[in-house]
């Protein structure tokens, strides 16, 4: 599972059983994530969670880096059986915008932050899949 964690919204992506292709799943309100994730794990197997880590081009933390670290700590405490990875997400939102444009989406759709978050989560997960293959 790929996660683009945000203070308001969290984008979620999943992969196929062979771990070849990432695909967008949903965007949810971050406040709803704990219940959503618990329910999701009851229905679907998840071996690994890949979370995008926001870092500036200079390598310094962004305004949301600590929130992601807190989220990672929460995941580790509540789901110690899950493998948890992080991946640099510096360019995921920009890449998401480019992919949304390439899909031929309207200007209105391109401003849909939920869509951007879900596509970003997909990019995060696909990058991880390529890294481990």
What's the total number of domains in the chain? 1
pLDDT given at position 95: 67
The DSSP element (H or E) to which 23 belongs, if any, is strand 22-29
pLDDT given at position 83: 97
Q: Burial-class residue 54 by CB neighbours within 10 Å (0-12, 13-18, 19+).
A: buried
pLDDT given at position 52: 94
pLDDT given at position 109: 59
pLDDT given at position 115: 74
Q: Determine the Cα–Cα distance for residues 124 and 105; give it in Å rounded to an integer.
A: 21
Percent of the chain with pLDDT over 70: 81
pLDDT given at position 112: 58
The ranges of the chain with pLDDT < 50 are none
The DSSP element (H or E) to which 2 belongs, if any, is strand 2-4
Domain around 90: 2-132
CB contact at 8 A, 52 and 9: no
What is the domain-level CATH number for residue 128? Answer: 3.30.420.140
């Amino acid at each position: 599972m790929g996660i683009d964690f945000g203070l308001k919204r969290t984008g979620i992506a999943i992969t196929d059983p062979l771990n070849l292709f990432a695909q967008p799943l949903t965007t949810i309100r971050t406040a709803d994530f704990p219940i959503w994730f618990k329910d999701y794990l009851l229905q679907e197997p998840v071996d690994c969670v890949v979370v995008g880590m926001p870092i500036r081009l200079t390598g310094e933390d962004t305004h949301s880096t600590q929130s992601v670290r807190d989220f990672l700590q929460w995941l580790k405490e509540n789901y110690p059986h899950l493998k948890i990875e992080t991946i640099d997400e510096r360019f995921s939102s920009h890449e998401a915008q480019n992919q949304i444009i390439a899909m031929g989406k309207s200007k209105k759709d391109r401003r849909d932050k939920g869509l951007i978050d879900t596509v970003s989560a997909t990019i995060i997960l696909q990058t991880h899949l390529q890294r481990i293959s």
